[in-house]
Structure 1
């Protein structure tokens, strides 16, 4: 069966500053490139939404990666309190994970692109609960380190007025859960890039001054017992994550800027 690529189309919202409601737009969610070359295949299926973009793996029921752009104006008080949502937009024949796959599994339904990065409206928040944006995470990971770093990224864009480009995902296999055999990643990873100040697109600004871009890359073991561990303990480089995941990061940048960002190791103290 031929699989049709999903592209969600919405009205574009114009804006001129990082503090505006500007970045919940389909075209902003994958500006650094397509890390897995995702397309129409079931093993690497590209989904592009106004809230985020991702490469979905039908056999595992989780994404290889999820990417989004975060500004202070993308955050609000919209709150979705329902169950996590089966992604019925997936083509027939692809694995459609359900809320019940996680029930009593011992794992949280771990957002890759978090609700609080997209809660400017209820509808935007709700889109983050689609299960194609979710991975099984140990509660100590999801509710501890992961949540703390999510908050840090939001505080970073709020305090600087600049956008943060974020990618996250998991790799490895520590078994499966649910009747749909959803893969439990061995590690979760995240890369957050604070874009340099100035005019022009994020890519233009990074290419012009890559050393002014702050790159924070994390590799977090998906295990119990780490709830109170500082996220700074898990800082690595995007280059190291690239080697572990098989993904290709920052392909939209010029070669010099890409090399700088891949090898920059943040101190976690800025």
Structure 2
């Protein structure tokens, strides 16, 4: 009788342990399925290397921080059609990013400077969850932008990228300011003001294509197409090296000047 009770007790314990392990596995699998699958490509072949080695992956974007300039030299993220919601989000306060060694520059550096805290990963691309939206308001994700530039051509480019995402599907985006010598500084921490901003948009799949922009940090009335450049040009100006882990032939093909007809523009003026 005692042996039978022990057998039943051990069997019950084994069954409960099996249920517990399955529940743990299921919870983890469900959590992973809800992630934006950011690490799918963002860690390797597409994003550039970090100049200072301060490369940080948040939940919804990755970036490389340059302490000399007190901002990110690049921010990289996936944009997917399911991200493009119209959820109404309460705009949070900007916060310093504690993941940056010594923290990212404080938002007060921008106060009274005449420059906007310009998003690199746009808040409008991350309305699908409160967590994702709020994460874009870390100061590691902003750079000093001329107000007319930020509200003008930069905003039109962000809208154009969303339009392409709806048309073509998943896009991978790398963006930032050109950080170079002799830039204007603002605030007590010396946040430097880029003269130019770049954005690179990669479209994977059967209709694989890439388009890149280099735009002066001031409002531009010209069409976006006027600011198309090759990735080679952005590499030359920024000192960064994109797509380093891709096959060299593929890298050269992608970084060549854009071929006409691969991207359709929508007028957002």
Matched, 1:48 2:57: yes
> Does residue 258 of structure 2 align to residue 262 of structure 1?
no
CA-CA distance at 1:266 after TM superposition: 4.7
Deviation at 1:44, TM superposition (A): 3.6
Root mean square deviation of aligned Cα: 2.2
Q: Distance in 2 between matches of 1:101 and 1:194?
A: 36
Q: Distance in 2 between matches of 1:258 and 1:113?
A: 24
Once residues 259 and 150 of structure 2 are traced to their aligned partners in structure 1, the CA distance between those partners, rounded to angstroms, is 22
In 2: Cα distance, 1:80 partner to 1:193 partner: 30
Unaligned runs of 5+ in 1: 1-9, 15-20, 198-211
Tell me which stretches of 4 or more aligned residues in structure 1 moved more than 6 Å: none
Structure 2 gap segments, 5+ residues each: 1-28, 265-269
Higher fraction of helix = 2
TM-score, normalising length: structure 1? 0.79
SS in 1 for 2:76: strand
Q: Does 1:139 align with 2:147?
A: yes
Contact 1:26 1:50 in 2 (8 A): no
More displaced 10-residue stretch of structure 1: 163-172 or 27-36: 27-36
**Which has the larger displacement, 172-181 or 102-111?**
172-181
Larger radius of gyration: 2
CA distance in 1, matches of 2:59, 2:213: 25
Query: How far apart in 2 are the matches of 1:137 and 1:130?
Result: 16
What residue in structure 1 maps to residue 3 of structure 2?
A: none
Cα offset for 1:26?
Answer: 4.2
Match of 1:35, SS state, is coil
When normalised by structure 2's length, the TM-score is 0.79
- Equivalent position of 2:231 in the other structure: 238
The change in CA–CA distance for 1:24 and 1:146 in structure 2 (over 3 A counts) is: farther
Q: Contact 1:187/1:220 (CA < 8 Å) preserved in 2?
A: yes
Structure 1 counterpart of 2:125? 117
Cα deviation for residue 267 of structure 1 reads 4.2
